[in-house]
Structure 1
Amino acid sequence: MIRLFTWSKTTIKRYTNDKIIPYVFTLSDDPMLFRDLLKTNKMYQDGLKLEGNIPGFRFSVGRSYVVFIIIWHLIMLPPAAIFHHPLTKIDCHLLIIMAVLFTGMFFAMYAIFKEYLIDAVAHKILQRGWENHFPHFDYDLHAKEVAKIYAEALDKEIPHKEMQLYILEKLVEKK
């Protein structure tokens, strides 16, 4: 059972990265600037809202709705087909309430879907920028550490010209 769940989770992530993200987002080929990488990494590590704050991608709302509606129907049509006969016998007032609840659930799930996609793209952009600016440090091991060092550098009011050297010195010092 766990193996099946792991297989489906990796398949979903791979399908999302290979098909959905390229369809919904337009990613820039330009490398991310160092200060943008630091700012975005700090926001990502702090769990802040990333939409509109990350340079290098454009989000297509229409395409995201198309993808979400397809996924929604793939999930909702089988139960609707199974429970169609009992639903025909329910009072119309209860059906109206159910319609309102499912509409609210649709838009709430779309908001979660949109945030998931934006987080996935942010992670992808951060890793690509990380490879460009910190090629000798693993992203997964050092991203939180760089965010803390960047916050310290901002507190100490270190100029942007010296920021990269300061962060690299601190990383090497802690290693």
Structure 2
Amino acid sequence: MLRIFSWVKSAVRRFTDEKIIPYTFSLSDDPMLFRDLLQTNKMYQDGLKLEGKIPGFRMSIGRSYLVFIALWHIILLPAAAVFHKMLEKIDCHLLIIMSILFTGMFFATYAIFKEYLIDTVALRIIRKAWENHFPHFDYGLHAREVSKIYAEALEKEIPHKNLQLYILDRLVTTNK
């Protein structure tokens, strides 16, 4: 059972990466600047909302709604077909209340879907920029540390031209 769940999870992630993200997002080919990487990484590590704050991508809201509506119907239509006989015998007042609840669920789950896509694309962009600016440091091991060092650099008002040297020096000295 665990293997099936793992397979489904990897298939969903692969479908998201290969089909949904290229359809709903416009990604820039330009590399992210060092300061933008630090700022974006800090926001991501702090769990802040990333929509509209990361350079390098733009989300098409219309396309994201189309994708979400298609996914919603893939789940909803088979359930409606299974429960059709029961649903046709329910009082119309109850059906109106159910339609209100399903509409609320639609928009609530769309917000979750949208945040998931934005976080996925943001992490992809951050990792790509990380490989460019920190090729000798693993993202998974050092992302939080770089975020903390960047916060310290902002507090100490380190000049922009010395920021990269300051962060690399601190990374090297803390990892010895």
Which of 24-33 and 4-13 deviates more? 4-13
Superposed CA offset, 1:16-56 (max 9, x none)? 11111010000000000000000000000000000000000
Cα distance in 1, alignment partners of residues 156 and 7 from structure 2: 47
Partner residue of 1:140?
140
Residue 70 of structure 2: SS of its match in structure 1? helix
Cα distance in 2, alignment partners of residues 148 and 37 from structure 1: 14
Residue 116 of structure 2: SS of its match in structure 1? helix
Cα distance in 2, alignment partners of residues 58 and 104 from structure 1: 26
Q: Identity rate of aligned residues, in percent?
A: 73
- Once superposed, which parts of structure 1, at least 4 consecutive aligned residues long, lie more than 3 Å away? none
Cα distance in 2, alignment partners of residues 131 and 81 from structure 1: 49
Cα distance in 1, alignment partners of residues 99 and 48 from structure 2: 33
When the two chains are superposed, the root-mean-square deviation of aligned CA atoms in Å is: 0.6
Cα distance in 1, alignment partners of residues 163 and 14 from structure 2: 35
- Deviation of the 1:160 alpha carbon: 1.1
Residue 169 of structure 1: SS of its match in structure 2? helix
Residue 125 of structure 1: SS of its match in structure 2? helix
Partner residue of 2:109?
109
TM-score w.r.t. the length of structure 1 is 0.99
Residues paired across the two proteins, number: 175
- Deviation of the 1:78 alpha carbon: 1.0
Residue 166 of structure 2: SS of its match in structure 1? helix
Superposed CA offset, 1:80-135 (max 9, x none)? 10000100000111000000000000000000000000000000000010011001
Unaligned runs of 5+ in 2: none
- Deviation of the 1:2 alpha carbon: 0.7
**Counterpart residue type for residue 172 of structure 2:** V
Unaligned runs of 5+ in 1: none
TM-score w.r.t. the length of structure 2 is 0.98
